[in-house]
């Protein structure tokens, strides 16, 4: 295992332990944008910055951290720099569920190489599930980080849409779109990592979202190994790399994206109706 992957797994493992330790005493607060932040977010952020310091000192790595993003700079400026490696961390993805003691939260960390998805790790501490991509293969692990761990390779999936299908969306999507089909039911989990990782193992046929770079970074290479791609609802173009034009100044994607197999993308897009 590469040094980068080894450090990445150590961060999500120990970050998950922090999240479990603080979940009943996490002191949730609202940020200026009405999103939730907790003691665990800040503690996992500090852990990641400490563990990644040797990489960042080398000058060939950048870290985009949700909790310290104001120090990073605007996307146009950062992505114009000739830096081959970009890390992005969401210390607690699904902070609102976490603050309400719900299990669909995770520590999510991704590493992009030449601005393309390369490695990622997403750890759900309460559910004891780990998804990761080592730069070549992607894996789903139950009971990770111990002798009971069970690992299986993630392989391409292409779910056939039917009345039992589930399509996952972020909560703000329902303000922008109506879901027109009685089959392929829409569900909302308020957790980007669930929306992106779960379809990679067949938990749902895909998802619809408009998220920040740290929401997507950890699960992006995992989804690709499952044969799933993010495509713009507006243009139909795939999201293949980080480019300044796809983000607003807060590092949020400008368009809504559907994560699905290539075959299912037009079928799913047809079920959306803008409000």
251-268: per-residue pLDDT in tens? 999 999 999 999 999 999
Average pLDDT, the chain: 94
Q: 231 phi and psi, to 5 degrees?
A: -130, 140
| pLDDT (0 to 100) of residue 43 | 96
| pLDDT (0 to 100) of residue 70 | 86
Is the per-residue pLDDT at 94 higher than 80? yes
Is the per-residue pLDDT at 110 higher than 90? yes
3-state secondary structure of 208: strand
| pLDDT (0 to 100) of residue 35 | 83
Least confident segment among 28-32, 58-62, 215-219, 270-274: 28-32
Instruction: Give residue-wise pLDDT tens across range 59-76.
Output: 899 999 999 998 899 999
| pLDDT (0 to 100) of residue 103 | 95
What is the mean pLDDT of the segment spanning 102-113?
Answer: 97
- Quickly state the pLDDT bin for 241 (edges 50, 70, 90): very high
Long-range contacts of 83-86 (CB under 8 A, 24+ apart): 83/59, 84/60, 84/113, 84/114, 85/55, 85/60, 85/61, 85/111, 85/112, 85/113, 86/61, 86/62, 86/111, 86/112, 86/115, 86/242
Instruction: Give residue-wise pLDDT tens across range 212-240.
Output: 999 999 999 999 999 999 999 999 999 99
Is the per-residue pLDDT at 1 higher than 90? no
Domain boundaries, the chain: 3-153, 166-274
- Quickly state the pLDDT bin for 153 (edges 50, 70, 90): very high
| pLDDT (0 to 100) of residue 33 | 77
3-state secondary structure of 139: strand
| pLDDT (0 to 100) of residue 212 | 95
Task: State what percent of residues in the chain have pLDDT above 70.
Answer: 100
CATH class, domain 166-274, is: alpha beta
What is the mean pLDDT of the segment spanning 19-42?
Answer: 89
CA pair distance 94, 197, nearest whole angstrom: 13
**CATH annotation of 3-153:** 3.30.540.10
């Amino acid at each position: 295992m590469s040094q980068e992957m080894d450090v990445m797994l150590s961060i999500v493992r120990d970050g998950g332990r922090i999240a479990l330790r603080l979940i009943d005493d996490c002191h949730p607060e609202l940020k200026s944008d009405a999103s939730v932040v907790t003691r665990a977010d800040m503690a996992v952020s500090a852990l990641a910055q400490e563990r990644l310091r040797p990489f960042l000192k080398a000058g060939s790595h950048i870290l985009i951290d949700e909790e310290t993003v104001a120090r990073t700079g605007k996307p146009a400026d950062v992505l114009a720099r000739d830096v081959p490696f970009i890390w992005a961390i969401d210390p607690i993805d699904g902070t609102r569920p976490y603050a309400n003691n719900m299990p669909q939260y995770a520590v999510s960390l991704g590493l992009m190489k030449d601005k393309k998805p390369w490695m990622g790790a997403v750890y759900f501490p309460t559910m004891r599930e780990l998804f990761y991509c080592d730069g070549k293969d992607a894996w789903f692990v139950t009971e990770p980080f111990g002798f009971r761990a069970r690992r299986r390779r993630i392989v391409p999936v292409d779910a056939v849409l039917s009345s039992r299908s589930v399509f996952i969306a972020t909560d703000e999507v329902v303000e922008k779109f109506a879901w027109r089909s009685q089959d392929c039911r829409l569900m909302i989990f308020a957790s980007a990592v669930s929306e992106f990782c779960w379809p990679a193992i067949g938990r749902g046929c895909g998802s619809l979202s408009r998220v920040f770079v740290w929401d997507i970074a950890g699960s992006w290479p995992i989804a690709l190994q499952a044969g799933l791609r993010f495509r713009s609802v507006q243009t139909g173009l795939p999201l293949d790399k980080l480019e300044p034009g796809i983000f607003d100044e807060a590092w949020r994607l400008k368009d809504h994206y559907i994560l699905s197999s290539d075959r299912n993308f037009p079928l799913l897009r047809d079920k959306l109706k803008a409000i």
